[in-house]
Amino acid sequence: MNIQWYPGHMTKAKRAMKEDIKLVDLIIELVDARVPLSSRNPDIDELGRQKARLILLNKADLAGEKGNDAWISFFESQGIQAVKVDSRSRAGLKQIQAAVAEACREKIERNRKRGILNRPVRAMVVGIPNVGKSTFINSYAGKASARTGNKPGVTKGSQWIRLNKTLELLDTPGILWPRFESREVGLHLAFIGSINDEILDREELAAELIKLLSQRYPEVLPGRYGKEVQGGTHMTEAVAALEGIARVRGCVLKGNEYDLKKAANLLLDDYRSGRLGRITLEFPQGAGSVKEERETCQ
Ligand code: G4P
């Protein structure tokens, strides 16, 4: 499966974001906690040079707790503050204020020495499509925040939101496009639903997910769909598991043929929504056993 797709409007969006970044002190980068590396954009290191950085492991509710902790340690070992959050339920949002202060410590200290006190840190949120930027901004800014009105950002229609005395947030997130460095990265992004499904063969994608789950979380498929859906790491076993899901869930076409497309959609939706449990698909090198990771969130 060849996953390559670069929408034309991204070039324009990136240019606008470059201008917005000039206005901020801090870049808050959202990544998907299930695939924190695949959901990053390598351009951000270049775009964010000279700026304070904070990484939010968003959708932490869908990823394993041990995986989340391993990634926090990993990013901190790289000198980048990181916080795990669930923007939908607002879990973890309270820790952000302290992380912002830590990420911007040098800047705040420099200002203090120059007699500039109480100047709010200005931040913008960036990330790839569907990572949860809008949800995060809505949850974090909430109702209490006020639009400052007089200082537009560069992106058309964008505004600063004053969150409190110490932090202002640009209300328009910067959209980055992931770079498909490898087939694996493309697959990870497709599994979490971050790339346009229409360009993908759903059955093949589901079969690849079955292979990965069977290798790392062998109890997940039988746990969800029953003993007859064991999966396996070979394509033939994965297709057999997909047929098993079709059988168990009654995905049958006229003439009693299995509707594998429907079964594939069912599996992918179950994974994306967390119905298969909290599953991290990517770990920092050297992190502990993946098999111990699974925690059920139902
Ligand atoms: P974007 O601006 O980066 O493109 O992403 P957006 O906020 O639109 O979020 C994309 C999807 O991810 C939304 O689901 C949103 O609810 C979900 N989401 C965002 N943050 C979290 C999180 O921390 N945990 C979980 N579990 N989900 C999160 P959707 O199905 O597209 O929309 P909706 O059904 O929620 O309205």
Find residue 52's DSSP bridge partners: 26
Task: Give the span between the Cα atoms of 287 and 297, in whole angstroms.
Answer: 22
pLDDT band at 267 (very low <50, low <70, confident <90, very high): very high
Looking at ligand 1, which residue's alpha carbon is closest to its atom 26? 59
Task: Give the span between the Cα atoms of 258 and 253, in whole angstroms.
Answer: 6
pLDDT tens per residue across span 184-229: 898 999 999 988 666 679 999 999 999 999 998 999 999 999 999 9
- Stronger pLDDT, 37 or 3, i.e. the higher one: 37
Closest CA to 131 of 284, 282, 272, 275: 272
What average pLDDT does range 167-193 have in this prediction?
87
pLDDT tens per residue across span 227-239: 999 999 999 999 9
| Spacing, Cα 55 to ligand 1 middle (Å) | 17
| Atom number, ligand 1, closest to the C-alpha of residue 175 | 3
Q: Is the pLDDT of residue 86 over 90?
A: yes
- Stronger pLDDT, 243 or 107, i.e. the higher one: 243
| Spacing, Cα 184 to ligand 1 middle (Å) | 23
What average pLDDT does range 59-69 have in this prediction?
96
pLDDT band at 76 (very low <50, low <70, confident <90, very high): very high
Q: Quote the tokens at residue 144.
A: 């209490």
| Atom number, ligand 1, closest to the C-alpha of residue 135 | 7
- Stronger pLDDT, 281 or 196, i.e. the higher one: 281
Say what the pLDDT of residue 294 is: 37
Q: Is the pLDDT of residue 11 over 60?
A: yes
Q: Is the pLDDT of residue 269 over 80?
A: yes
| Spacing, Cα 88 to ligand 1 middle (Å) | 7
Which residues lie with the beta carbon below 6 Å from any ligand 1 atom? 58-59, 61-62, 86-88, 127, 129-135
Q: Is the pLDDT of residue 161 over 80?
A: yes
Say what the pLDDT of residue 154 is: 54
Q: Which of 134, 135, 194, 279 to mutate to test the pocket of ligand 1 (most atoms within 8 A of CB)?
A: 135
Average per-residue pLDDT in the chain?
87
| Spacing, Cα 257 to ligand 1 middle (Å) | 35
- Stronger pLDDT, 92 or 195, i.e. the higher one: 92
Q: For residue 194, give the H/E element and its range.
A: none
CA 17 to chain centroid: 19
Looking at ligand 1, which residue's alpha carbon is closest to its atom 30? 273
Dmax (CA) of the chain: 79
Q: Which of 40, 88, 170 to mutate to test the pocket of ligand 1 (most atoms within 8 A of CB)?
A: 88
Say what the pLDDT of residue 172 is: 85
Helices (H), 104-234: 105-113, 133-141, 183-192, 202-216, 220-225
Say what the pLDDT of residue 158 is: 74
Least confident window among 64-68, 174-178, 218-222: 174-178
| Spacing, Cα 199 to ligand 1 middle (Å) | 21
pLDDT band at 3 (very low <50, low <70, confident <90, very high): low
| Spacing, Cα 98 to ligand 1 middle (Å) | 24
What average pLDDT does range 28-37 have in this prediction?
97
pLDDT tens per residue across span 97-156: 999 999 999 988 998 899 988 889 999 999 998 999 999 999 998 865 555 555 555 555
| Spacing, Cα 84 to ligand 1 middle (Å) | 15
| Spacing, Cα 134 to ligand 1 middle (Å) | 8
Closest CA to 33 of 283, 270, 219: 283
Task: Give the span between the Cα atoms of 233 and 223, in whole angstroms.
Answer: 17
What average pLDDT does range 275-294 have in this prediction?
70
Share of residues in the chain with pLDDT > 90 (%): 64
Say what the pLDDT of residue 77 is: 94
| Atom number, ligand 1, closest to the C-alpha of residue 87 | 23
At 90, phi and psi to the nearest 5?
Answer: 75, 10
